[in-house]
Amino acid sequence: MSDPSQFTEMEWIRFLDIEPLAADAGWAVIRLQPKPVHLNHNGTVNAPILFGLAEVAGAGVVVAGMLPEAASSYTVVRSANIEYVAPARGGVTATGHIASSVFIKAIEDVTARRPVEVEVPVTISDAAGTLVASASFVIAIRPRRQRP
């Protein structure tokens, strides 16, 4: 298993104040214990906060387990879709997972310096296990361009 604390190095993650619970080749689990700044006018977790949580989990699914390879690449969200299905009250957890065959192919492509795109589904549930949002991200990993 990869060390999930690796995700706390990014300023964006520290800004959101989210907690990576687990991450490995092809899966990631990220939690948010909301603070007042995360809430909207209804007292529920604000939609952009849920999106940010899902995005970290989605990218983590692809990058966890290939950190050395990803470090020499350019990783970005190419597209995203999210559906909010219930109000998010209290702590929320984002979980993303891809098939091991998809992850293996992605790491082979990244190692060979071939561009790769991986579709990653992510669900967000509250502390009671109620689904509050589902998302899908296409994570693109490209070889870094050589500088002259």
7-26: per-residue pLDDT in tens? 556 787 888 889 989 988 89
**Mean pLDDT (the chain, rounded):** 90
Question: Token pair for residue 15?
Answer: 């800004």
Instruction: List all residues 6 or more positions away from 94 whose beta carbon is below 8 Å from its beta carbon.
Output: 28, 29, 30, 31, 32, 53, 54, 56, 57, 122, 123, 124
Instruction: List all residues 6 or more positions away from 146 whose beta carbon is below 8 Å from its beta carbon.
Output: none
Tell me the pLDDT tens digit for each residue of 76-125. Answer: 999 999 999 999 999 999 999 999 999 999 999 999 999 999 999 999 99
CATH 3.40.50.720 fits 4-143, yes or no: no
Question: What was the pLDDT predicted at 110?
Answer: 92
> Residue type at 99?
A
Q: Where is pLDDT greater, at 74 or 45?
A: 45
- For the beta carbon of residue 1, count every other beta carbon within 10 angstroms: 10
Question: What was the pLDDT predicted at 15?
Answer: 83
Band (pLDDT 50/70/90 cuts) for residue 1 is very low
**What are the extents of the domains in the chain?**
4-143
Question: What was the pLDDT predicted at 129?
Answer: 94
- For the beta carbon of residue 23, count every other beta carbon within 10 angstroms: 26
Cβ atoms of residues 96 and 27 within 8 Å: yes
> Residue type at 28?
A
pTM score, whole prediction: 0.89
Tell me the pLDDT tens digit for each residue of 55-78. Answer: 999 999 998 888 788 778 889 999
Cβ atoms of residues 75 and 62 within 8 Å: yes
Give percent of the chain with pLDDT exceeding 90.
Answer: 70
Angle at 85 between CA 82 and CA 91, to 5 degrees: 90
